[in-house]
Every structure is written in C-alpha cells, then in structure tokens.
Amino acid sequence: MTAKVAYADVEAGTELPACSFPVDRARLVRYAGASGDFNPIHWNERFAKEVGLPDVIAHGMFTMAEAGRVITDWTGDPGALVEYGVRFTKPVVVPDDEQGAVIEVTGKVAAKLDDEERTVRVDLTATSAGQKVLGLARAVVRLG
Amino acid sequence: MAIDQSFVGRTYPPSRPYEVGREKIREFAQAIGDTNPACTDVEAAAALGHPDVVAPPTFVFALSFEEASRVVQDPQLGLDYSRVVHRDQKFSYTRPVRAGDVLSVTSTIESVKSLAGNEMVAVRGEVEDGTGEHVVTVHTTLVARALEEE
C-alpha cells in the first residue's frame, strides 16, 4: 500500500484539498442501487414527509463515503485508511430541483501519531446548507 | 421499554459468504463519484501493491449493515425498527476489501443504552475473508428514537 503523500511532508495543521460534492435525486437513486439501501426516505418525498422529514434526505453512508474521498483523493490509495469514523448529526436534505444539495468537506492533519507506522490523524468537517452534517469525523491514515 | 442488558455480548452466527466482484466495486465507486483507478483497473491497483482492484473504504457497510439490521430486528430485543436511525459509524481496517474476497461478518451486540427515551444499540461486525483472516471491524450504532409526545 503506497500513499502518494509522504509522512515527512506533513505536520499537524496541514490542510487537505477541500472538496464540494453535489447531490441530486438521481445520485441518491444510483447510490441506493450500488449500496443496496433502498429505504424510501432517500428517494420518496411523500414517504419522507410522512415520517416527519422536511424532504428526501441523503443516505448517511453516502455523506460518509464522499467525506472519505477527501482523504483517499489526497493519499491516492484507498488502502491507506487504517480507521475512519463519523457521527451523523444532521441530515443532508435533497430537494427535487435543478441544484439539489451540496456537501462541503474540509480536512486537516490533527496530529502525527506514529513515526514507525507513518500514521497521522485527519479531522474532517462536512457541512450542507450551512449545517454541520457529520460530527467526530476522524480518520487514521498511513502515509508513504 | 428499556432493552434488557443481558443482550450485551451476544454474538450472532456468521453471515452467508459474500463474494466481492470487480463490477460491484466499479458500480459502487461510480455511485460515489470516486474516479480512483485502483477501484477499477487491476494494473493501477497492482501499482499500489494490491493484488486486485480495491473497494472504496465504506463499501463493506453494505454487507455489515445487512447483518446489523438482522441483529436489531431480533424480536427478543424488542426494538421498534421503524424508528431506527444511524448514529455512529466506524471502520478499523487490517487491509482494504478487494475483488475476489469471500467475506463473512460475525456480529456482536457491544452495548445497549437508554437515553431520554431513545434506545441505542451498538453492534460490532468482524469481517473476515475466506481464509479466516481479519479484514475490517465495523462499528455501527443505531438509535430507535423515542415516540414523540402527541
């Protein structure tokens, strides 16, 4: 496993390239098929409203997957992740219009953990419509 | 109704084997917009030291969640599944999931808690490959929300 970012080249505070991920209904339908999560709150507005949601919401795991891309795009190797965890704090509401929603993700190196293992902790933030949608979003990443 | 603490530590029988295919990994990577060639091109994966294409990190949730759902729907647990939402998710990897893996998940109830009428259940899924080697541990916390006062 070979991350393209070298452990020696980062320090606590190093920022990862931020990313914006657009989400529309078609994207959610596609994710439902690929992941096998067909809960109607992710594609059926009538059902979502019946259970008290403002509208269709994105799969939490879709948001987690997109946030993770900020790390795997940075390292170049999906296998560089040692640990990855999040808390789902607010739903990403996806209206049925031209824009849909956008998930904004930033990340930075919070600490260098182990010089032998070349591992760092990366803290992520993810927001949509100005609200924090993930909490405690952290990863341990093995660098090159 | 508070969940009986005696469920803590209960382990369920392993899932049926799940064979990871290259095309399923491609489909998942495309669904999340991940264009990393290591997910779709065997040579690109090999250049990073992987014997076959690798799955994006959250791919494995599809199979662990099937098992976690089975656990929280255990009628003995008495959880109202229609009120269940996903609270926390964490993965601890020994190695990435890759095409050709034949995976199985063994789920254990780690904790049950009541908080302001919400029932929280934490399930740990140990994912192993066909040779019994550990691949990833999946921690999933689900919450059955309290019924709102009418």
Convert the pLDDT of each residue in B101-131 to its tens digit.
999 999 999 999 988 888 899 999 999 999 9
Question: Whole domain around residue A97: which residue ranges?
Answer: 7-22+60-142
Q: Is the pLDDT of residue B3 over 80?
A: no
User: pLDDT tens string for chain A (144 positions)?
Assistant: 577 899 999 999 999 999 999 999 999 999 999 999 999 999 999 999 998 899 999 999 999 999 999 999 999 999 999 999 999 999 999 999 989 999 999 999 999 999 999 999 999 999 999 999 999 999 999 999
Which residues face A122 on adjacent strands?
Answer: A109, A139
Chain B residues in contact with A86 by the CB 8 A cut-off are 88-90
Q: Is the pLDDT of residue B52 over 50?
A: yes
| Block residue for tokens 């295919």 | B21
Residues of A with CB under 8 A from a CB of B: 1-2, 21, 27, 30-31, 33-37, 60-62, 64-66, 68-69, 72-73, 76-79, 81-88, 136
Chain B residues in contact with A87 by the CB 8 A cut-off are 87-88
CATH code: domain of residue A67: 3.10.129.10
Q: Is the pLDDT of residue B47 over 90?
A: yes
Which residues face B111 on adjacent strands?
Answer: B122
Q: Are A126 and A63 in contact (CB under 8 A)?
A: yes
pTM, entire model: 0.95
pLDDT of B145 reads: 80
Chain B residues in contact with A83 by the CB 8 A cut-off are 90-93
What is the rounded distance in angstroms from the CA atom of residue A136 to the CA atom of residue B76?
32
> What are the pLDDT digits (tens) for B127-141?
999 999 999 999 999
Q: Is the pLDDT of residue B33 over 80?
A: yes
Residue in chain A nearest B27 by alpha carbon: A34
Give SS3 for A27.
helix
Q: How many CA atoms lie within 13 A of A80 on its CB side?
A: 30
Domains of chain B by start residue, with CATH: 7-21+59-144 (3.10.129.10)
* Distance in Å, alpha carbon of B45 to nearest chain A alpha carbon: 9
pLDDT of B1 reads: 57
- Subunit contact B31:A88, Cβ cutoff 8 A: no
**In this complex, how many residue pairs, one in chain A and one in chain B, have their CB atoms less than 8 Å apart?**
110
How far out from the chain centre does Cα A3 lie?
Answer: 19
- Subunit contact A78:B89, Cβ cutoff 8 A: no
Classify residue A35: in a domain, yes or no: no
ipTM over 0.90: yes
The count of structural domains within chain A is 1
> What are the pLDDT digits (tens) for B67-84?
888 888 888 888 877 788
